[in-house]
Amino acid sequence: MRIYRKKPLSSNFFLVICPPFFMKADLHPEYVESAIRCACGNEIKTRSTKPTMLIGICNECHPFYTGQQKFVDTAGRVDKFQQRLAKTKAAREAAKESADKKRKKKSL
């Protein structure tokens, strides 16, 4: 049980005196020097609870900080989309032509 004492400063104000608080021993993790390594090879020295950290992108290779815009097309997705779009356009045109031929036959 903590004991707090009030000390009057004036008629409306009191100063609360608290006993000193200490951090508990062996509760917090160890804080060591750490190295953050990027995929580009950049290494940043800092302090952390983990000795090493591996990251995929850093300020040395990120396009926002370098000013270089990189277009990443993984597995040719843009090309595959363009091919599918061309196929659907061709299929629509073929369906339209066949519908026009059927109408002409019915009208004769």
What pTM value is reported for the model? 0.40
Torsions phi, psi for 12 (to 5 deg):
-110, -10
97 within domain boundaries: no
Q: Tell me, what CATH number does 39's domain have?
A: 4.10.80.400
Domain hosting residue 60, numbered range: 28-65
pLDDT in tens, 8-21: 656 666 666 666 77
Q: pLDDT band for position 32 (50/70/90)?
A: very high
| Residues in contact with 17: Cβ distance below 8 Å, sequence separation at least 6, in sequence order | 4, 5, 6, 7
56 within domain boundaries: yes
50 within domain boundaries: yes
Domains in the chain: how many in total?
1
pLDDT in tens, 35-72: 999 988 899 999 999 999 999 888 888 877 777 765 66
